[in-house]
Amino acid sequence: MIKKITTLSFLLLLITSITFAQAKKERTVNSKSKTEKTPFVWEGANLYFLMTDRFYNGDKSNDLNFNRNKKTEKLRGFEGGDIKGIIQKLDEGYFTKLGVNVIWFTPVVEQIHDGVDEGTGMSYGFHGYWARDWTALDPNFGTKKDLSELVKKAHAKGIRIMLDAVINHTGPVTEVDTVWPEGWVRTEPKCQYSNFENTTACTLVANLPDVKTESTTAVSLPPFLIEKWKAEGRYDKEVASLDVFFKRTGYPRTPKYYIIKWLTDYITEFGIDGYRADTVKHTDEGVWADFKTQCDYSFADWKKNNPTKVLDNNPFYTIAEVYNYNISGGQLFDFGDKKVNYYENGFTAMINFEFKSDAQKEYSFMFQKYSDLLNNQLKGYSVLNYLSSHDDGSPFDGNRTKSIESATKLLLTPGISQIYYGDESARSLVVEGTQGDATLRSFMNWDAITTNKATQQVLSHWRKLGQFRANHPSVGAGVNVAVSAKPYVCSRTFTKGNYTDTVVIGLDLAKGKKEIPVGSTFKEGAKLRDGYSGKLGTVLNGKARIDTEFGIVLLELKK
């Protein structure tokens, strides 16, 4: 009997031990899996910038509103693109295939109803930068229901949504769009751009009223806005909401705070993840510090009210457009008579206007320069790199003859990468018959993507690099270390908490069998995968041995 009890006890102990060991093993595996999950890192994001009206027409029923039927100059009227068009391409997986994890699109708030000629022919506010009512969406772009659906679907795919904030100016004055009251805006003088004062307290161009963002005098709502809201049946709601905002914040009812309130409402209502701020250097920098404070409050409020929809613990992200800011300037922008640190006034990143000139140089120079600056003078911040955009008339590859090189340099350089819609498909930036920046704003070339083999090859290259960047925060946010000068090989390492990501990039390599020096980046015998070709390789004597038909390798540990 004692023997039976002893045997039974042993079996129970053995079963318990095995169960405990298995549970411990499962906990270890789960913990490891959780630790190794690729986090989203803003500083290494792959951002896609599109002009809402020029990307894709998802709803032809909203193409004409407010009698906007005047004849315009070429590419200066509404072309039909809308939020539903973005949703359709999101559903098709277009952004995911490109490795995009942030979508920024031009403003969708209600624009002036009429058109104007600013010297480049009759134009409508298709671009979104001529606001008439910050509290409403322009029907040409879609509805708030559309915006809600876009944010929800993007988040489901791990993609963040960034809107475009304009505080500096209203839309131009037209026969049907009256000027805002004198307490709100100035209509002269025109900016001279030689010092701080004549860059901020002035109008960018004639007939573009400049919001008095420096004003400390309280103002009432514009009569036209009161009349509009009453006609739409939402006056009482809007006024009550303003009362709550000003009571909570204690801010005076000055122009900038009205607009800050209206813009941050989109965070509270929809849970957008970031704002790109337009014409930042044309306002006092303190405007943006207050803006960021209210963005953070609204984002926290949205997270509190929508706990099941929160993606992660990342803060609300803000990117500044300070025209002609260069990464070499570090944290400061020089007006000539005054230097301003916009990073200390509400921004976590700034658009880097220097990148397109740096892109004329070798990979080794670019990668090391950006890694050194971002991990020293700009540590804790970032820059948004671009090669073409909607208002830069001297893009890196204006004739689209260097689309492959463009992708390699943009997507593999440290910092946030901005793909301007059509970069990935060589959309033409030279359109005959256009004036000014209209040539940069043609409709997305979807037909070429479908039928043109050369376009498809270019797109394939962008997709491979984009996906590698999205899968590896180290590409954009890591520390670059040169391993070999010729052929050029470098490693990138990013560490945050318990998470570490390391890759090796090789460029201008021989096609076929190759040995890539990896130094001590990967251990001897490590199994590697090339993110570009999908081929596998092994580390032997400090070199990755792999056979691919390409001259580029993007090495990662095989999972």
pLDDT tens for residues 449-500?
999 999 999 999 999 999 999 999 999 999 999 999 999 999 999 999 999 9
Q: What is the DSSP letter of 314?
A: P
Q: Inform me whether the pLDDT recorded for 49 exceeds 90.
A: yes
- Three-state secondary structure string covering 344-362: CCCCCEEEECCHHHHCCCC
- Three-state secondary structure string covering 21-42: HHHHHHHHHHHHHHHHCCCCCH
Say which of 278, 285, 530, 556 is annotated catalytic.
278
> Does 321 qualify as catalytic in the annotation?
yes
* Pairwise CA distance, residues 415 & 195, whole Å: 29
5 vs 532 pLDDT, higher one:
532
* Pairwise CA distance, residues 148 & 508, whole Å: 44
% of the chain beyond a pLDDT of 70: 94
Q: Comparing C-alpha atoms, which of 256, 272, 269 is closest to residue 105?
A: 272
Q: What is the DSSP letter of 319?
A: E
Overall fold of domain 38-182+272-477: TIM Barrel (3.20.20)
Q: Inform me whether the pLDDT recorded for 24 exceeds 70.
A: no
At 37 the pLDDT is 81
Please state, in angstroms and as integers, the Cα–Cα distance from residue 104 to each residue in 107, 411, 495, 509, following that order.
9, 17, 27, 35
Do 525 and 538 form a contact (C-beta atoms < 8 A)?
A: yes
Where on the phi/psi map is residue 436: left (φ > 0), alpha (ψ -120 to 50), or beta?
Answer: left
Q: Comparing C-alpha atoms, which of 292, 38, 45 is closest to residue 165?
A: 292
Q: Comparing C-alpha atoms, which of 347, 346, 348, 342 is closest to residue 289?
A: 346
In the block, which residue shows the tokens 């009349």? 227
At 9 the pLDDT is 42
39's tokens? 């986090």
Do 180 and 209 form a contact (C-beta atoms < 8 A)?
A: yes
Q: Inform me whether the pLDDT recorded for 526 exceeds 70.
A: yes
18 pLDDT band (50/70/90 cuts)?
very low
Average pLDDT over the chain, rounded to an integer: 94
Taking only the tens place, the pLDDT of each residue in 53-69 is 999 999 999 999 999 99
> Does 290 qualify as catalytic in the annotation?
no
Name the residue ranges covered by the structural domains of the chain.
Answer: 38-182+272-477, 479-557
The pLDDT of 115-130, averaged and rounded, is 96
Q: Which of the listed CATH numbers 2.60.40, 1.10.287, 1.10.530, 2.60.220 matches domain 479-557?
A: 2.60.40
Do 58 and 83 form a contact (C-beta atoms < 8 A)?
A: yes
- Three-state secondary structure string covering 136-194: EECCCCCCHHHHHHHHHHHHHCCCEEEEEECCCECCCCCCCCCCCCCCCEECCCECCCC
CA torsion through residues 387, 390, 395, 399, sign:
positive
Say which of 53, 82, 238, 321 is annotated catalytic.
321
Please state, in angstroms and as integers, the Cα–Cα distance from residue 183 to each residue in 31, 218, 258, following that order.
58, 8, 13
Please state, in angstroms and as integers, the Cα–Cα distance from residue 312 to each residue in 65, 160, 323, 467, following that order.
39, 11, 31, 20
Do 246 and 253 form a contact (C-beta atoms < 8 A)?
A: yes
- The helix/strand/coil state of 273 is coil
Q: Is 177 exposed, middle or buried (0-12, 13-18, 19+ CB in 10 A)?
A: buried
The pLDDT of 245-272, averaged and rounded, is 99
The pLDDT of 106-133, averaged and rounded, is 98
Do 210 and 199 form a contact (C-beta atoms < 8 A)?
A: no
At 429 the pLDDT is 99
Q: Inform me whether the pLDDT recorded for 32 exceeds 90.
A: no
36 pLDDT band (50/70/90 cuts)?
low
The pLDDT of 96-120, averaged and rounded, is 98
